[in-house]
Structures are given as C-alpha cells and as structure tokens.
C-alpha cells in the first residue's frame, strides 16, 4: 500500500455497527405509512446511502414523501436509534496508532452533522479526528462525493495523491473516485467483496485487524 498522509473514514459500517438503530428507525418510519416489514434483514440495503434516496428507490416514494419519511425516521433515531450502536472492536486502537504516526484523520459521512457529532462524542471518537464532515439536515451535501469534497476544502487539502477514503459501501468507493482519491473497502461492514470490487476500490480488507496491518505498517 502506498503512503497516505490524510485518511478519511466513513462512520456507519466502518467505525461503528449502527445497524440496529438505523433499522429500528426505518421500521418506525414505514409504520407511519401502514408498511410492515416481516424480515428486517431486508432493510440492510438502507445502510450506507442517503436515506431519502433509499425511500425513493426501495419504496417508490416521491421527493416530498421521502423527505417526510426521513422526518419520521429522525423522530425515533434522535431519541433512541442514535445510541443503538457499537464501536467495532479494534477501532479506537487503530485510530490511536494513526494519530501516533502523525496521520491526519477526517470523518466523512452522509449522516447529518447533528447526529454525527453526538455519536462521535458519545463513543469518545471525536478526539482522534482533525475534522468531522456530515450532511445537512435538509438533505443537501448528502452524496459521499460532496461530503469528501467539502472535507478536503475545509481542511485545505489539495494533494489528492496523499489522501485515501475508507468505507464499507459502494457509495464510499464511488464518491472517492469522483473526487479523485484512492479508497479502501472494508468487508466487515454492510457491503461485501463483490460490491466493493465492482465499485472500483483501490484496496479491500476483510477485518479491522487487516485494515490496521495495511495502513499502520505502510
């Protein structure tokens, strides 16, 4: 692996396993429309992409209805779902090792900034990061390429050859490619090898330990 000075991390499925809270929030929102989900595993496809896009893609909601569904989602998520979440084992140690090596760490997530800041503070992860970039509550700056570009601009990073994005879904990989930076796909999150490979990930790892070996021993 080449040497990178700036490392961007996704949040959901990369630093934390947030699936219980996200899925419970989606179930809550869908119930508002009389939609019941027998097998909640079907909702794992919501993990990663911007929510309003997922409601449109998977349930045929129009723009207004999808934004309304996001508002219902947030009713549950803001009070309960936010903390139905766990940090993946080994992540704090990985982040500390990268700090010790002098790497610049940036969080880049499509989750709204308001919720992202609360999660990062709750799990004591914010201290490892130079900058935390999320989306806006109105749905703008939610595409991963937009979040990455915003983070790089705010941190005044211009040499993209020294930057890598780490994430678990194709949206992370596609966003990185759109901005012109390399990427690492992680299989321990919500995507799989085929998804990450087909999206064009520069590197793919299976576990947090494998990720640590790759980026800490470069």
Calpha distance 176→199 (Å, rounded): 10
In this structure, how many other beta carbons lie within 10 angstroms of the beta carbon of residue 101? Answer: 13
Nearest Cα to Cα of residue 214 among 1, 14, 7: 1
Q: What contacts 1, CB < 8 A, 6 or more positions away?
A: 203, 214, 215, 218
Instruction: Give the strand order in the sheet containing 6-9.
Output: 131-135, 104-112, 6-9, 163-167, 182-186, 203-205
100 is catalytic: no
The catalytic position among 10, 17, 172, 182 is 10
Give how far Cα 205 sits from Cα of 114, 182, 216, Å. Answer: 30, 14, 13
Residue positions annotated with a catalytic role? 10
């Amino acid at each position: 692996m080449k040497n990178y000075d700036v490392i961007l991390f996704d949040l959901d499925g990369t630093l934390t396993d947030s699936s219980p809270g996200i899925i419970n929030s989606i179930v809550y929102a869908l119930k508002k429309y009389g939609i019941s989900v027998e097998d909640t595993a079907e909702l794992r496809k919501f993990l990663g992409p911007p929510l309003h896009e997922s409601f449109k893609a998977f349930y045929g909601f129009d723009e207004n209805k999808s934004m309304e569904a996001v508002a219902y989602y947030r009713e549950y998520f803001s009070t309960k779902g936010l903390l139905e979440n766990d940090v993946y084992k080994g992540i704090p140690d990985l982040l500390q090792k990268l700090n010790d090596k002098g790497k610049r760490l940036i969080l880049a997530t499509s989750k709204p900034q308001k919720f992202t800041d609360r999660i990062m503070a709750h799990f004591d992860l914010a201290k490892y990061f130079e900058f935390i970039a999320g989306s806006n509550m109105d749905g703008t700056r939610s595409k991963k390429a937009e979040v990455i570009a915003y983070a790089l601009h705010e941190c005044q990073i211009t040499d993209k050859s020294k930057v890598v994005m780490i994430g678990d879904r194709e949206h992370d990989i596609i966003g990185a490619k759109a901005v012109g930076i390399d990427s690492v796909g992680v299989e321990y999150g919500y995507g799989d090898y085929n998804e990450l490979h087909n999206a064009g990930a520069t590197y793919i790892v299976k576990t947090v330990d494998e990720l640590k070996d790759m980026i800490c021993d470069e």
